[in-house]
């Protein structure tokens, strides 16, 4: 094990205390599980949602288009 890993472990134990480490690990596991569950629900909802409208196609132009000021008007 590298020296920096040992120092990091000792620093975590000193900062949080040995009694709080299991609780911190448990909370991290729960939050990770909730996050994965939320991701799965989001994917499931995206699969079930039908498309509201098809994407626009190259249909006819409007009858009164906005004139581009950089182009001269044509009669």
Residue 72 confidence class, pLDDT cut points 50, 70, 90: low
pLDDT band per the 50, 70, 90 thresholds, residue 12: confident
Question: Cβ distance 31 to 24 under 8 Å?
Answer: no
Three-state helix/strand/coil letters over the chain: CCHHHHHHHHHHHHHHCCCCHHHHHHHHHHHHHHHHHHHHHHHHHHHHCCCCCCCCCCCCCCCCCCCCCCCCCCC
pLDDT digit string, tens, across residues 28-69: 999 999 999 998 887 777 666 666 566 666 666 556 556 666
What are the sequence ranges of the domains in the chain?
Answer: 19-48
15-26 pLDDT, tens per residue? Answer: 888 888 889 889
């Amino acid at each position: 094990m590298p020296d920096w890993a040992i120092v990091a472990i000792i620093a975590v134990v000193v900062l949080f205390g040995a009694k709080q480490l299991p609780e911190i690990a448990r909370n991290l596991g729960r939050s990770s599980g909730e996050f994965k569950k939320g991701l799965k629900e989001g994917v499931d909802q995206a699969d079930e949602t039908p498309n509201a409208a098809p994407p626009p196609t190259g249909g006819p132009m409007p009858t009164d288009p906005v004139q581009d000021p950089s182009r001269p008007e044509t009669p």
